[in-house]
Structure 1
Amino acid sequence: MSDGSGGSDRDSSGLKRAFQIQLMALSIGLSLWLVWFLRSLVLDVLLALIVALVLDPAVKFLYRFNLKRSIASVIVFVAALCIFLVVVFLVTRPLYNAGVKFSHELPRLVNQAQTGTGRFGQLIRQFHVDSYVQANSSKLTSLLTQASGPAVVAAKTVLSGVARVVTIFLLSLFIEIEAPVLFGVIYQQAGPLRRVALMRVRRRLVKAITGYVLGNLLTSIIAGVVVYIALLALGVPFPIVLAVWVAVVDLLPLVGGLLAGVPTVLFALLHSVAAGIIVAVIFIVYQQLENHILNPVIMSRTVRLNTLWVLISVLVGADLLGFIGALIGIPVAATIQVIGGEIWSMQQRKRGIDPAEGQLFFDDKGGDLQL
């Protein structure tokens, strides 16, 4: 009887464990589906967290002058938002002026195309499309007069993007204000050992993510300033627009410089061959300086990820979430590395081994990579 009872207990225990495993798998699957379904909101929250981490040192600096944390946070975040809006204005203003100028020139261009006069008409005759223009003049006139449609769509897109950025800033502001209370509750619920581990993870994450974002911003701003000075000196049109384009695209790790440089060089070539060659040389020289001097100096003490790990994180982020995903790929990879390193260290300590702090991945020289 005892053997039968023992076998029944073992079967019941096995069924219970199998049910728990299936329930856990189902919960994980539903959680992943929910995250993917709400990926736009999740992305905004991640961006808000990154913004809060980046602006946290400035908030702490003002906090030292006996300002309330909420007041210091509002001052810093409003200042950062104003800087962003100024950058948007500097980019969109020249484009708006160019659009207004084009709309004023549109009737004259249509007339030149139909009559074959003026510079525009000469280009049409040179490329032997004058007969096509004459045969389809009414259609071309209709299409050109409706050219304001894409401009309206672009304006709506810009306004929508600005509204989303403002929302992210507001969310990050509340995160910054409430973060100490939230972390205080978490630390109280955790045991002494876990509390120390959580504090260590938080410290490393702040250092890694803040260092990466600020370092990336600094190198991108330097790239934009260098390109702006070069284009302004060469007389290339829209230097501020192209400089901001370079600064934004240069934020992409590894490939940002190339993606930013090709269109800029081509635009400079349209102005003059000499300008295109000079801009190309400037891009090549600057990329070498950024890759071998600026990036190692700025980021070597903050984010220290293996090059392959960086490339994988950028590719996965870009495939899942596009440009924004490529930007946040490295912070997410750094988070995985920090948390994974802490878990690995805790497991080693449980086995009686005192691991070197943070040794989880390997750097390009074959040694252990310190977090």
Structure 2
Amino acid sequence: MQDKSPRPDAEPVEPAAGQGQVEVVPPPGREPGPAGAPGPGHHPDPITDLEQRRLEAGVSDQFPFGLLGRPLGRFHPFSIGFTGALGVIVALLLLEALQSAKHVLLLILVSLFLAVGLNPAVERLVRVGLSRGKSVGVVFLAVLLLFTAFGSALVPPIVAEISHFAEQVPVYIAQLQENRKIAEWDAKYKLLEKAQEKLSESDFQKNVADWALSVGKGTLSAIFNTFTVLILTLYFLAGLPQIKMFFYRFTPRSRRARVALLGDEILDQIGNYVGGAFTVAAISGISAYIFLSITGVPYAAALALIVSLTGLIPMVGATIGGVLVTIVGFLTGVPEGIACAVFFVLYQQVENYFISPRIMERSVDVQPAVTIVAALIGGALMGVIGALLAIPTAAAISLIIREVVLPRQDAR
């Protein structure tokens, strides 16, 4: 059976013909009060939700935007100024963070540069038939042997010379006392007495101790940085293909192939430059070792390694190495010094006009003026490492300009 009782919110129904009036039951809360007054839940002029929110926000004729005022838009001066101030603060914090991490970032950059430079040797071994892991191991072992040879050839002579100097200090002092001119100066100005007083001062001893401590810290820091660069180079060299693909995927798919070609070309040029630079440095070191062995200059192997190391520095490296070896030659004897000066002057001419052009002609395609400017800027920004990285960086920028920028300008 259907429930025919009237609903609480039923509207009045007109009676049918022949029927009486139907009593309308008001909905709950709308019952009439005494004497026909509206019930407690009756609102003759109900307030809408919008009006209620306007009242809560304090919107009125006097405050058309509420008690809080006009809402701030995106282009409000306060919004623009506040956003700009936040941007400046974030930029300063990032700059400070980069300054704090400058040393670590420099080690990472050098390691990545060495990995890219050693990659052509790994690729050659892979083409021979070795797997990439074995090729990386062979190349890295060769690098370790090179560093070991450099340390074994350079460190023992330095230690021996320091020990010899410490043993000969009393002899040197006695020779100074026996010298007639020194004796006259000592009698007149009390030089030896003042020197002994200076040596006995606590401040002098403290300064010597601080200098020795700083030298020890510098040596340990250099050793730690060397091992860090070697480990990072090994990791970068092993994962270089994955690293390249990771960065290539940041480009759109439609341009990824083109970007990959340019990227591989840039990395090949950097690798060829590093390989060419090491080849030129090795030739200079071998030539210096042969010459120093013939002339009888002591520590020929250590001096040859110094010549090779300084030869990696663009433009001025060979000159620095030649000057250092020439000074050692003059300390050995005047004829040896003159012979060293003549040899390095002649060798630099041969290297600049015959050896280096033939080896570096396929490595980087950069104009000589651009090379000089890039090396100067890199040296001013990051020292010797900046000068080393400047030339391949200039080659990469030149390749991008030649392959991307200029064709777009020609197409317009």
- Provide the C-alpha distance between the structure 2 equivalents of 1:303 and 1:133, rounded to a whole number of angstroms: 59
Any idea what the Cα deviations from partners look like across 1:20-57, whole Å, max 9, x if unmatched?
xx89x979888777555533222222211111112213
Query: Is the contact between residue 133 and residue 140 of structure 1 (CA under 8 Å) also seen in structure 2?
Result: no
Aligned to 1:41: 104
Q: Note if 1:242 corresponds to 2:303.
A: yes
SS in 1 for 2:262: helix
Aligned to 2:123: 60
Residue type at the aligned position of 2:314: P
Residue type at the aligned position of 1:135: E
Residue type at the aligned position of 2:373: I
Aligned to 2:278: 217
Aligned to 1:157: 218
SS in 2 for 1:136: helix
Aligned to 1:90: 153
Aligned to 1:136: 194
Name the larger-Rg structure.
2
- Provide the C-alpha distance between the structure 1 equivalents of 2:157 and 2:212, rounded to a whole number of angstroms: 14
Residue type at the aligned position of 2:160: N
Offset of 1:347 from its aligned partner? 1.9
Query: Is the contact between residue 118 and residue 275 of structure 2 (CA under 8 Å) also seen in structure 1?
Result: no
Mark the CA change 1:275 to 1:32 in structure 2 (over 3 Å): closer, same or farther: same
Any idea what the Cα deviations from partners look like across 1:267-311, whole Å, max 9, x if unmatched?
322322222221111111111111100111000111121112111
Of residues 85-94 and 75-84 in structure 1, the stretch that sits farther from structure 2 once superposed is: 75-84
Any idea what the Cα deviations from partners look like across 1:138-166, whole Å, max 9, x if unmatched?
33654999968756643442332122121
| Structure with the larger helix share | 1
Query: Is the contact between residue 94 and residue 241 of structure 1 (CA under 8 Å) also seen in structure 2?
Result: yes
Residue type at the aligned position of 1:136: K
- Provide the C-alpha distance between the structure 2 equivalents of 1:99 and 1:301, rounded to a whole number of angstroms: 44
Percent of aligned positions that are identical: 27
- Provide the C-alpha distance between the structure 1 equivalents of 2:93 and 2:330, rounded to a whole number of angstroms: 53
Mark the CA change 1:185 to 1:251 in structure 2 (over 3 Å): closer, same or farther: closer
Of residues 182-191 and 320-329 in structure 1, the stretch that sits farther from structure 2 once superposed is: 182-191
Alignment size in residue pairs:
331
Q: CA RMSD in A?
A: 3.6
Aligned to 1:325: 386
Query: Is the contact between residue 209 and residue 303 of structure 1 (CA under 8 Å) also seen in structure 2?
Result: yes
Of residues 308-317 and 194-203 in structure 1, the stretch that sits farther from structure 2 once superposed is: 194-203
- Provide the C-alpha distance between the structure 2 equivalents of 1:124 and 1:303, rounded to a whole number of angstroms: 61
Of residues 101-110 and 160-169 in structure 1, the stretch that sits farther from structure 2 once superposed is: 101-110
Mark the CA change 1:226 to 1:130 in structure 2 (over 3 Å): closer, same or farther: farther
SS in 1 for 2:374: helix
- Provide the C-alpha distance between the structure 1 equivalents of 2:306 and 2:355, rounded to a whole number of angstroms: 20
Residue type at the aligned position of 1:41: V
- Provide the C-alpha distance between the structure 1 equivalents of 2:227 and 2:180, rounded to a whole number of angstroms: 46
Aligned to 2:314: 253
Segments of structure 2 that go 5 or more residues without pairing to the other structure are: 1-73
- Provide the C-alpha distance between the structure 2 equivalents of 1:333 and 1:104, rounded to a whole number of angstroms: 51
- TM-score between the two structures when normalised by the length of structure 2: 0.68
Offset of 1:126 from its aligned partner? 5.3
- TM-score between the two structures when normalised by the length of structure 1: 0.75
SS in 1 for 2:366: coil
- Provide the C-alpha distance between the structure 2 equivalents of 1:234 and 1:130, rounded to a whole number of angstroms: 39
Query: Which residues in structure 2 correspond to 1:93-132 (within 5 Å)?
Result: 93-110=156-173, 112=174, 119-123=175-179, 125=181, 128-131=184-187, 132=190
- Provide the C-alpha distance between the structure 1 equivalents of 2:180 and 2:213, rounded to a whole number of angstroms: 28
- Provide the C-alpha distance between the structure 2 equivalents of 1:120 and 1:222, rounded to a whole number of angstroms: 43
- Provide the C-alpha distance between the structure 2 equivalents of 1:273 and 1:178, rounded to a whole number of angstroms: 53
Q: Note if 1:233 corresponds to 2:294.
A: yes
Query: Which residues in structure 2 correspond to 1:259-298 (within 5 Å)?
Result: 259-298=320-359
Query: Is the contact between residue 197 and residue 342 of structure 1 (CA under 8 Å) also seen in structure 2?
Result: no
